[in-house]
Amino acid sequence: MSALAKNYNRKKIAFKNGDNDYKIVSLAGGIYFSENGTQQHLIGYDASEDYFVHKNASNTVLMVVSSSGWVGIGTSAANGGEIFTVQNSATRAQVRFGGDNDAGGRIGFDYNGDSSYIDVYGGHGSTARYRDFEIDARKLKLFSRENDDVILGQGGNEHMAVRGSGKVHISSSAAIVGSSTASLHVEGSGSEVVAVDGTNGRLFSVTDEISGSIFSANTVAGIPVIEATSAYEVKLDPFGNGQLLFGNCAATADKSFNFHADVNGVIMDIVNPNTGNPKILDMSFSGEAPDDNTSYYLRGTDTSADRVVIWADGDVNNADNAYGSISDVRIKQGIRDANSQWNDIKAVKVRNFKKNEDVEQYGDNAWEQIGVIAQELEASGMDKLIKEHPASKNEATSGDGSFKEGDMIKSVSYSVLYMKAIKALQEAMTRIETLEAQMAQVSGSS
């Protein structure tokens, strides 16, 4: 027994209840309770340890209160750093403040094997009980009652809410407002609304800027790969550091834009619904003017050969040397023989000339071309062969200064002119054949 039980200066109270004998024994430092001669509980002061102690019949410490104010439950080991200690040598220990499993609510400190946690239960209704807060196995958990929200905030303002529906709202304003349908809704203003940083720089950002970048996904070095601006611009690799790959295609050293789609049909459909002055595609060499048959604007190939190429100097090559127009009789009407083209072709002035742009680039080595002058062809009465288009910047720059970019300049439909020449050739052939027949008659009659 402890020092308390060995003190023989004692007084006792004995009483009987049925067949059971009960005693309350007073010792010098405390009292103990016995039933039928067996000690059940000891409460008293233990001078050897300098604390008030409560032990059970097995002499196991249930509770101690030290002279320094330290309180221990389930332990007798004093710990100056902890004013209040609860300890249980069993596999499960629990401390509970408040009600039990009914609507009273409670705060619990619990240990059960590998799981230890703090939980807070809030009462609701007559019998229901809901866990609101829990620290379990190094995890912090917050729960709401029924489908209520879980709110985090600062200074009385709500900044983050987990809705009862499972949606998450984050806001820098005093109250969380806005979309109630998004699974993750973030509100904010200023240069950074959402930002994700890596070791070497910014990886992802969303801003609320009036001008400039509003969205950016970056490399590990913080260089934008995808960027969207407030000017409705979407930029892919805006600094030109890599390659754009669409579909299941491998990057190639000589191509910065790669598109792959295995479909039984059209891969790309480009539509411009504008009703003003719509355009579809503009291709240019911005760093130089190759003007040759090495660089090209467009090349079409298959598994065996190049089928069509538009070269940098404007030449067009195709594998079949066929350039045509749809000519089915079923899409035509008013078909008749063409009028005589004799006089029109006689009026054509075939000229040699050099293009200003070629002279600027090659000087005296600029090559001489053969063709017609639009204004001269127009003056001869063949104005239907003349078309006009707005002058490009390059055309205006190489011009004689009498027009500027956007002014209308003239071009010639050479393919129609060639057809007129074929008709005139047929007329010449008819005349030649007539003359040959007449000459044959003269020779025969002589």
Q: What is the DSSP string of 175-214?
A: S--S-SS-SEEEE--EEEEEEEE-SSSEEEEEEE-SSSEE
d(CA 246, CA 83) in angstroms, rounded, equals 66
Per-residue pLDDT, 8: 40
For domain 341-445, is the CATH number 1.10.10.10?
A: yes
pTM: 0.52
Residue 291 burial (CB count, 10 A)? 16
User: In this structure, which amino acid lies at residue 201?
Assistant: G
Mean pLDDT of each 10-residue bin along the chain, 446 residues long: 42 63 61 65 66 70 76 66 64 57 59 60 52 60 65 76 73 60 72 77 76 75 79 77 70 69 84 91 90 91 88 91 90 96 97 93 93 96 94 87 92 95 97 94 79
What residues does 118 pair with on adjacent strands? 109, 135
Per-residue pLDDT, 303: 85
Token pair belonging to 393: 């910047």
Per-residue pLDDT, 51: 67
SS3 label, residue 363:
helix
Per-residue pLDDT, 87: 67
Contacts of 137 (CB under 8 A, 6+ apart): 114, 115, 116, 117
Among 318, 281, 310, CA closest to 294: 310
d(CA 256, CA 258) in angstroms, rounded, equals 7
Per-residue pLDDT, 381: 94
Whether the CB-CB separation of 55 and 41 falls below 8 Å is answered with: yes
Token pair belonging to 312: 């940098």
d(CA 159, CA 174) in angstroms, rounded, equals 7
Per-residue pLDDT, 6: 42
d(CA 94, CA 82) in angstroms, rounded, equals 17
Q: Exposed, middle or buried: residue 65 (CB in 10 Å: 0-12, 13-18, 19+)?
A: middle
d(CA 2, CA 18) in angstroms, rounded, equals 31
Q: What are phi and psi of 224, to 5 degrees?
A: -60, 135
Asked whether the CA dihedral 253, 257, 261, 265 is positive or negative, the reply is negative
d(CA 288, CA 237) in angstroms, rounded, equals 23
d(CA 342, CA 114) in angstroms, rounded, equals 105
Task: End-to-end CA distance of the chain: give it in Å, rounded.
Answer: 167
Per-residue pLDDT, 5: 41
- The gap from C-alpha 142 to its chain's centroid, in whole angstroms, comes to 30
